[in-house]
Amino acid sequence: MRSLDAWLFSARLAWGRPWLRWASVGALVISLVTGGWFVSQVLPTARANGTFAFHYNIYVGIDDVRGWGWVFVLPAAWLALTLADLALAFGVYRADQILASSLVGLALLWSLPWAVALFYLTVVNSV
């Protein structure tokens, strides 16, 4: 339990910094809201068709079609990566504050490509 106690102590210290607190909350909110919007837009069509266009290529077009259950995979992967990144950032804060700040910034920055990818998959699957 010593390592869990050390992680909790580091996380409490990190949570005390406004930048880390608000950036981590922002990254989680963006991930949850965008993922929820994606699922709400794509799931009805995917269930009706029984398929989901999982990947789109500008040269080939739709090149990966899967069952409708795969609608949840990309938002869940984004959320899992964000949670893992934030857990790592909060855990290393005590040892390396610059690394922790960089990891939280990374969680915010990768929200843009994830959101764009989910937006275009929404467009492809709504046709």
What pLDDT, in 10s, does the model give residues 96-105? 999 999 999 9
Residues of the chain below pLDDT 70: 1-2
Start-to-end CA span in the chain (Å)? 52
Which pLDDT value is given to residue 30?
97
Which pLDDT value is given to residue 57?
75
Give which of 35, 75, 71, 32 is closest to 51, Cα–Cα. 71
Which pLDDT value is given to residue 2?
62
Sketch the domain layout of the chain as residue ranges: 2-125
pTM to 2 decimal places: 0.88
3-class secondary-structure state, position 118: helix
